[in-house]
Amino acid sequence: MSTAACLCPIHWRGLYTLIEGTRYEVIPSPVDTATSLLFRAWCAGCGTEYTHPFRTSAARSQAA
Ligand SMILES: [Zn+2]
């Protein structure tokens, strides 16, 4: 296990990805998504790359 670890008190509290130069908030996902397969994500606090599956926040794409 050589995966880099988040250095924040609350691990992976805030994640983001860059898609075509735009920063989007993402959250951990139990399975890979199109977003996590195509793009990389980082911790917003310490900058460590998040190497696990993630998905974009549902707030932007789903109506309540
Ligand atoms: Zn961190």
What is the CA(11)–ligand 1 centre distance, in A? Answer: 6
What is the CA(15)–ligand 1 centre distance, in A? Answer: 8
> What does pTM read for this prediction?
0.81
Question: Which residues have a beta carbon within 5 Å of ligand 1, which is an ion?
Answer: 6, 8, 43, 45-46
What is the CA(33)–ligand 1 centre distance, in A? Answer: 21
Q: Supply the pLDDT for residue 60.
A: 52
Running along the chain, 64 residues long, what does each successive block of 10 average in pLDDT? Answer: 81 94 95 96 97 83 46
Taking a C-beta distance cutoff of 8 angstroms, is the pair 32, 54 a contact?
no
Closest by Cα among 34, 29, 31, 1 to 15: 29
